[in-house]
Structure 1
């Protein structure tokens, strides 16, 4: 019975989180993010402002969450689902490129909103840090080294590389007056992700192949 109550509680929390992030994006698209208050988001989602603060620390975080929702969990799941004969580096890179460039992801209006507002760009880039813990859990079983710190160091490095790629992607492009001053993502995101993650490939594969250390080593 306790397990069922816990499950229902988690479902309710997830539903509230989804309602908040969807309301945040909807209002931001309609009014502009600078004209959206936390109280507005909470009201649109049907919760109290104090409840909002249990889920998000800013309006920018909530708006961006509507675009990046649960992506870190999907990356970890994709890594875990890769066959054992796929190298760890390939498994991680392909999972990240797949989940960050999913054609079924956010529409152009949502991405344009993020790339044209500096606070949203910053919040978007910062979402990469959320990769560390779920990714560490996903790669740990594939490591020859049983030291749990190894998985976290590798996962943190991957998260940092993804952050670098996202920073480059949302960087202001040099625009001419004829372009209307629009800010657009620069470069191909899959290419930027692969380039940023490339230096980590040998470390990921070596960690997966490294034999366990003897107790007396």
Structure 2
């Protein structure tokens, strides 16, 4: 890897470290009890470095949401040609959704409770909405590339993207409220399996 590649990798790793630090501290302390200085210290960088990557702590927290969308969109582009769209979306979601969540924290009730409070935090709703809009744009472009359609003229890519975004939100919310939390793979397969079947009514 050349020097430019190493710099880009380092920048990517720093961005991830800052976002995870913001999430960890918010889950542990609550949104109002976390400062940008705390996040920078947790990630081992300066507050100036934080400002080079994010404009606010909310932006840092929600960054992983957008990263997840990019990962799923990238995985969708790599699925085999000719694979049915919902099968391809399901496999892409299975590959991109977990996005390196910290080992062991999925089973920790205090962690889940903290996540539940974090995603409901009023001060973060605007950031989540912006990230959701960006995610739908990522999905729509990937679907358009795969299906040979134009998202500016054909509603199909944007319709699929909107459904995928809603489905991923359902997966997240269901995982947070279920007792005990089911495996993410189970939820993802269930949700996208229902969509692939045309969302039939429950028996």
TM-score band w.r.t. shorter chain: 0.5 to 0.7
Q: Which residue of 1 is the match for residue 79 of structure 2? A: 82
Matching of residue 160 in structure 1 with residue 162 in structure 2: yes
The whole-number CA distance in structure 2 between the counterparts of 1:139 and 1:170 is: 22
- Cα-to-partner distance string for 1:165-215 (whole Å, 9 max, x where unaligned): 4555666x9xxxxxxxxx943698434455578779xxxxxxxxxxxxxxx
Q: What SS is found at the alignment partner of 1:73?
A: helix
> Please, what TM-score do these two structures have when normalized by structure 2?
0.64
5+ residue gaps, structure 2:
none
Q: How does 1:1-217 map to 2 (within 5 A)?
A: 4-65=2-63, 68=65, 70-96=67-93, 99-100=96-97, 102=98, 105=101, 107-108=105-106, 109-117=110-118, 118-119=120-121, 122=125, 123=127, 127-145=131-149, 147=150, 149=152, 154-165=156-167, 167-168=169-170, 184-185=176-177, 189-190=187-188, 191-192=190-191
- Cα-to-partner distance string for 1:80-100 (whole Å, 9 max, x where unaligned): 222212122331244235533
> How far does residue 17 in structure 1 lie from its aligned partner after superposition?
0.3
The answer (yes or no) to whether the contact 1:60–1:119 under 8 Å persists in 2 is no
- Seen in structure 2, the aligned counterparts of structure 1 residues 104 and 159 have a Cα distance that, compared at 3 Å, is same
The whole-number CA distance in structure 2 between the counterparts of 1:94 and 1:192 is: 12
Q: Which residue of 2 is the match for residue 203 of structure 1? A: none
Measured on the aligned residues, the alpha-carbon RMSD in Å equals: 4.0
The whole-number CA distance in structure 2 between the counterparts of 1:29 and 1:78 is: 29
The whole-number CA distance in structure 2 between the counterparts of 1:110 and 1:69 is: 21
5+ residue gaps, structure 1:
174-182, 201-217
> Please, what TM-score do these two structures have when normalized by structure 1?
0.61
> How far does residue 37 in structure 1 lie from its aligned partner after superposition?
0.9
- Seen in structure 2, the aligned counterparts of structure 1 residues 184 and 19 have a Cα distance that, compared at 3 Å, is closer
- Seen in structure 2, the aligned counterparts of structure 1 residues 69 and 134 have a Cα distance that, compared at 3 Å, is closer
> Between Structure 1 and Structure 2, whose CA radius of gyration is higher?
1
> How far does residue 58 in structure 1 lie from its aligned partner after superposition?
3.0
